Amino acid sequence: MAKLIYAAFTSLDGYVADETGNFDRAELDEEVHAFINSRERQIGTYLFGRKMYETMAVWETPDVFPHRTAAVLEFAPIWQAAEKIVYSTTLQTVSTAKTRLERKFEADVVRELKAGATREVAVGGPALAAHAIRAGLVDEYHLLIAPIIAGSGNPYLPGKVPVKLELLDERRFDNGMVHVRYRAKS
């Protein structure tokens, strides 16, 4: 059975974006990009909400990035190789390969997906992840914490959902970012 992993960038105070939707995090240098690439190679399927999908769809054509380092370019085929499921009631079509559109997040369907998957499943975006967390589906939490305090904004985690965690790994990067990986305890 595959794990469902929720991974995101967050400020020290737990926000994926500030009140205006921006997140001025530390520069994602080659070291951080290489780490992300090694982590993302484990993913066979991504679950996205509309906003996260629209953000990530640029990886279908990475030539749009102005500063394409080797590690940045290495991510594109990793993302392209994975299956993608987009949950949206407003999106009419998807624009990337290996992508299907679903209108409703159904916990039992995701449980079946995890049970039959040979590679890990990742949920992207705090709104969709909140559904998975509330349903008890998230097995691991991967946080890449930037050395900033946002003050307010879009939180990484939903409120009023207690989950006991066990620290599995931590890593500090030269640019001040820190990665922590937790497992949900039953």
The token duo for 143 is 């946080």
Q: What is the pLDDT of residue 175?
A: 93
Q: How many domains would you assign to the chain?
A: 1
Q: Which of 125, 123, 132 is nearest to 161 (CA)?
A: 132
For residues 122-128, give the mean pLDDT.
Answer: 96
119, 134 in Cβ contact below 8 A?
Answer: no
pLDDT class for 78, splitting at 50, 70, 90? very high
SS3 71: helix
Query: What CATH number does the domain containing 90 carry?
Result: 3.40.430.10
| Mean pLDDT, rounded, for 38-43 | 97
Contact 96, 81 (CB under 8 A): no
Is residue 27 scored above 90 in pLDDT? Answer: no
pLDDT, mean of residues 134-143: 98
Mean pLDDT, to the nearest integer, of 97-111? 98
Q: Write the CB contacts of 112 (distance below 8 Å, at least 6 apart in sequence).
A: none
β-strand partners of 144 = 9, 179
pLDDT > 90? residue 22: no
Six-digit token string for 65: 């990035």
Count of C-beta atoms within a 10 Å radius of residue 22: 10
> What is the mean pLDDT of the segment spanning 152-174?
96
Q: Please write the tens of the pLDDT for every residue from 50-74.
A: 999 998 999 998 777 777 788 888 9
User: Is residue 149's pLDDT more than 70?
Assistant: yes
pTM of the full structure: 0.94
The residue segments making up the domain with residue 65 are 4-184
